[in-house]
Amino acid sequence: MSSINGAFVQGAEAYGRLLEVFIDGHWWVVGDYLENVGKCTKRLGANAYPYLYGGSSAIGGYKGSSPEFSGYATATKEIRKRFDA
């Protein structure tokens, strides 16, 4: 560095770059957090109030609910017969 006049400017530029990356990174993290909170809230809302999201009744509206209540995947034969050759 040949002159002292450039030291302050270069320091300010370096600080500006650091601040920009710091702020941009925090906005990225906060944005991801809010996006995940929104998705989770929507999923919880769809489970709690399925009729608002176009789902079926409350008993069979949950994913992974029992086939006894939802009416899907009924067995056609006994379990023992499935394993017989």
Domain ranges of the chain: 5-82
Do the Cβ atoms of 27 and 19 come closer than 8 Å? no
Q: What is the pLDDT of residue 35?
A: 92
Half-sphere exposure of 32 (CA within 13 A, CB side): 5
Of 30, 67, 62, 65, the closest CA to residue 43 belongs to: 62
Flag whether the pTM goes above 0.75. no
Instruction: Name the stretches of the chain with pLDDT < 70.
Output: 1-5, 55-77, 81-82, 85
Rounded CA-CA distance 71/76 in Å is: 13
Q: What is the pLDDT of residue 33?
A: 92
pLDDT value for 85: 59
Residue 27: strand, helix, or coil: helix
